[in-house]
Every structure is written in structure tokens, then in C-alpha cells.
Structure 1
């Protein structure tokens, strides 16, 4: 099974920010039900590995907190856009939660993550989008802001790839303490 750890957004917020990617040529838009902030992409894991990951994530202690969404950008290069996203303002509690999740996943036998943590919500993906698409998207939406959004849990998700895109299922939720 394909796993990741993330923070689900309230559906009403996801529906609102999904509107940012309407009408973009070649975009594979992320459905509001799938919008989240990834804390750690894990990848393929069997049932035993998933149980270890779940046990270690359940031990994490962290306070509840708020996030703010701010600005938009893209991942890719000057030649090829891979995805468009809304930024999440960093805060110390979010960064510490990411570090605790990373540590729990590594203790579960997974390899350390190789990317610097850049909190964001993916809005659309491309198979080789033109840089002009990203430029127009940023120009139209860079003043975007939303929040504060209360965060009181994080989730272990399973991602099932289908012909119509990924479908995410919550395998376990972990409460954050007031």
C-alpha cells in the first residue's frame, strides 16, 4: 500500500481554494476531498510496516495549532511545471510536528525523507506544463490568503492510484492536544 502522513483541510476551505486552479490548460486538478498538507510521503509499505508506522505515529505528542495559507507557487523547473500549490505559512509547531513525524517514520524502518519540508497544498498537477502557465497562475493568485485554520489532528493516509487520479483513505488519525 502507498502511504503518507498529512493534515486534512476542512472541506469548505478545500472547496474555496480549489477555485484557484479552475480553467488552467492541461491541469489535473486535485479534488477538494484530497487536499491536504503533506507532513511526510512514505511510499510503498506492507501491512506489517504500516502497523509499525501507526504505532510510532500514535506516540507523538504535539499541541493543536493554527495554520494560514498564503500565496501560490509551483514545483518544477523553468522548462516544465509539475504542480501548482498554495503555500502554508511556517510556524514552529508545524515544523516540530513534521520533525516528530519524520522521526517516527524512520524509527519504523523507513528511509529518511530526502526533501526539505515546504508546507503547501497541491492544487493541480501537470504532465509537463509550460512555464507560462505557472507565471499566469502566480500573477492571478499571489495575493491569496486564508486562515487561520485550526489543526487538531494529523492522519496516516493510504493513496490508491486509479485511472481517474489518486483516492486517499484515512487509515488512522492522531489527535493533537489542546
Structure 2
């Protein structure tokens, strides 16, 4: 297995700290096997996989040349899961719809495909992965998620500051290494 790369919206440090506290609460109540390191929290825009240097360089150059995106607010307001209803593989935090995020994602996605990457074609479902692999000795239920959702009463709000090209370092923690940042300028 080679080194994987992906473009993502980085969470600012203050949002990561708040998410870390939230995950501490959730960890006590939702027995998932692996929790994401706070420094690895992000919203994936384009997963590149095992990227060749030429395609990677081309995508970076294209983004540098065309990058004109502004910062924008995001509000994390709910929890969700992916996978089987009684044993999900991913616990995630989602946000309210934000057109600026879709615009940034569409730009990054387009540049990556123009650079020769074969990307997922599923609809974009932006989220922050919090934990993986349900480990409870009882079946997971939606009711449990709704009862333990800390965002229901107190959403997490932050200003999006940058998009990052990350490299995955398996076996390390945190495992995502920032390779190149594309700042979102002030409004």
C-alpha cells in the first residue's frame, strides 16, 4: 500500500480543541474502537489515493494559479454514521449547508480531475470523521446517537481558514501531514 494524499478543509485549532472536548464526552457514551486524533480532524474535498508526483505537482500548480477563495463560516450541528445501522463503521459530525464550501470543493475536485486523478463520483457529503468501527457489546441505534448529540443544543461554529493537501503517514499519530496549504483570505 502506497502513501495516500487528499485535499481537505482544515479545521482551525480552536475548532479542533472544541471537537477534542466533544469527542471526550462522546467516547464515554459511544463505544467506537478508534477515535480520530484531534490534529487529524478535517473535511475531505478530494481523495487522491496513491498519487504520482507528476499529477500531484500539476494539481498544486493549477490551484496556486487559480486560487481566489475567501474564508467563510461553518456550523457543525449534528452527528451521523456511515455503515450498517446496528454496527456503523464511521461516526461523523456534519454541518449545515454552506454554498462557499461546495464552491471550494467543486474547484478542488475539478482541478484534480483535470490533473488526471480518478476521483469518487458519489455525491459530496461533507463531514468530519470522529471515530471508526462500532465496538459496543450491544447494537448501535439512532436513538442512542440522538440522546448523546452534543451539537443539538450547542453547535460548533468556526471560520474556515485554509484548504490543505495532506499526506497520510500510516502507523503515526497524528497521521496526516500538511504538504501544502491554500489560505482562504478574509471576506
Q: Is the 8 A contact 1:7 1:39 kept in 2?
A: yes
- Counterpart of 2:21 in structure 1 is 16
Q: Is 1:38 the equivalent of 2:44? A: yes
- 1:82·1:129 contact (CA, 8 Å) conserved in 2? no
Would you say how many aligned residue pairs link Structure 1 and Structure 2?
177
Cα separation, 2, equivalents of 1:131 and 1:85: 20
Question: In structure 2, do the counterparts of structure 1 residues 139 and 154 end up closer, same or farther at CA, with 3 Å as the change threshold?
Answer: same
Matched-pair contact (CA < 8 Å) for 2:80–2:94 = yes
**Counterpart in 1 of 2:159?**
150
Which TM-score applies when normalising by structure 1? 0.87
Compare the two structures and name the one with the higher strand fraction.
1
Residues 95, 62 of structure 1: CA spacing in aligned structure 2 closer, same or farther, 3 A cutoff? Answer: same
Match of 1:72 among 52, 67, 79: 79
Alpha-carbon distance change, 174 to 7 in structure 1, aligned in 2, over 3 angstroms: same
Show structure 1 runs of 5+ residues with no match: none
- Following superposition, the deviation at residue 62 of structure 1 comes to 1.2
Aligned match of 1:27? 33
Task: List runs of 5+ in structure 2 lacking aligned partners.
Answer: none
Structure 1 residue 127, shift from structure 2 partner: 6.7
Normalised to the residue count of structure 2, the TM-score between the two structures is 0.83
| Cα RMSD for the two superposed structures | 2.3
| Secondary structure class of the residue paired with 2:118 | coil
